[in-house]
Structure 1
């Protein structure tokens, strides 16, 4: 009887161990929406991440702040795309939270994760344009604590891990002590940068500077109601024509490909709703290494070594490609890839002239969301061996 019980126990333990291993193996792999590109949870040692969590106050008085975020997104992305870190590839991830809005769940502290860390720039733009303001309670410590616990922060301290929180109410409100939240961030090598929307001295008096000081972050005060000025240049019309040509090189696939293609066009429209010059800024972003869409675009997907073009089912292709043989499809993708590279290079070449024109024809800019973010990112990036070309 004892032998039987021992054998039974061994079998049960073995079964539990095997099931646990199976579960561990399963969760170690993350499939994309189309199940074509597989990525492990391992960190690529050749990559350095810039992780930026934006925590935006969406209470009644913050319409100007949200407008700045929408209007300045692409220039921020463009400036970050110039980052270097030795021979490492740079990856940009942006997470987005809103807080201080009565329309958000009170049991969650009037906080909502709008978007987890994402490299999908179109998705980030879409979510920014979806934000609306409403009166509410602004709990800075709570939203910082939530972002630290919910987001997939890199463990390795070689990466640049930053929180930017913007608002205009006292920093010490709410159920979570901001000093505790900031201390937790410090222990995880996450730097908190605070952006007070209002008078510089008032932000100090309401503890916004102290919230940044704990992690040696930057404190800034901005005029959140200042309208973003986009400088038009002689190169804009040509760059917008190149954007249309660039769009024609995207070839969607998969169950969500068509929707993603429409989302791309929608964000082009959102960008130009501020000005043609802002749409040009987005065009520049689309020519950078940060703008990748391998989950829905065959051209970007084909650059991934783990992607097998032959495995894409015909029904997942656009109508005009369904009848092509595998060899014909490969040639088509290669042709579009080459076409895209040439267009992107033309955009980059024109952008050098555009940047120089803006530099020589613009007045000193007001202190705004873009200037506060870029100043802090560059300063803190230097401490992690990131550099920016002039």
Structure 2
């Protein structure tokens, strides 16, 4: 239906899609968010950050009230943030808006259940709704921009704005919906229309008293040839993504939940497509190494460092043991891990021919020990799979770490090690 006053309708829509919040009061040692969606926003910021020190300073700026009024529009959060100079910096956080199809999925899911509508009216976001259209940001979804000269990602001013925005989301989840593209009045009007349409259809069906179609039992149980079963659905190309898990007091660790869900999806996908479980034969230690190796490099984020500590403690190893084993796994999987941990005596053959080959290539100083050929800082290890694996150590320290690309030729493995 066309609105009676299109200009007034357009003005109302523009107002609904732009909200400005006055500067928030300073915090006194409190958390910036207590709701699960507010904490998800904070985690997306912290998992994106490349410098933890800037996060700490941004958190302090936000706590001391350095962030002025915050303006939220679709795809953008903007505020002026006071730093060390007299003039504040113009700071923005950008994120992707949802498509019309995403919004249609979200609103249809919300309107299908009265408890979802009631939760939204009560400023609460059911977990099931948040996953329908990827409402919550993920690491890398938040793009900071600031007029300050700091090239950090994010700078402390953008971090401060993110932390203060979490407080807005905590109080009103419709701020998150506005960031994703739609205002509160627009969403509630759409839900009201969908709910009214649904109720009218239910009343119409009840009023007509349409009879439920039936089939005589003798016909249903009569013997007859059955049609062939339809072909099975094609398996998906990749395992599905797990939902975003909240980080709330007393709840399970969201990183652990994410790992469990991701693992279950990957193993189910492998069983569906190959009929085998890729990790069924691994020991607890081997599986811990595999899990850590699948995670981004250690030391980048607090969550990754915590993962290494917990996996190492659970398997009676040190984080350094785990990091060395992860380097081996990334070098060549289970076979490379065995090379790291299991010295052995190879039979005569390829191992005995390795030293003459190295000498011919002008590498004469390797000394043998079991399946190792070593110098003061370089080492080649011969695996039971007939492949050579490169290792490095600081000179004369015997602190060997897997490096380079494995090769069936010892000269090739050494060349790959030296070319790093």
More strand by share: 1
Structure exhibiting the larger radius of gyration computed from Cα positions = 2
TM band (smaller chain): under 0.3
Higher relative contact order (CA 8 A, sep 6+): 1
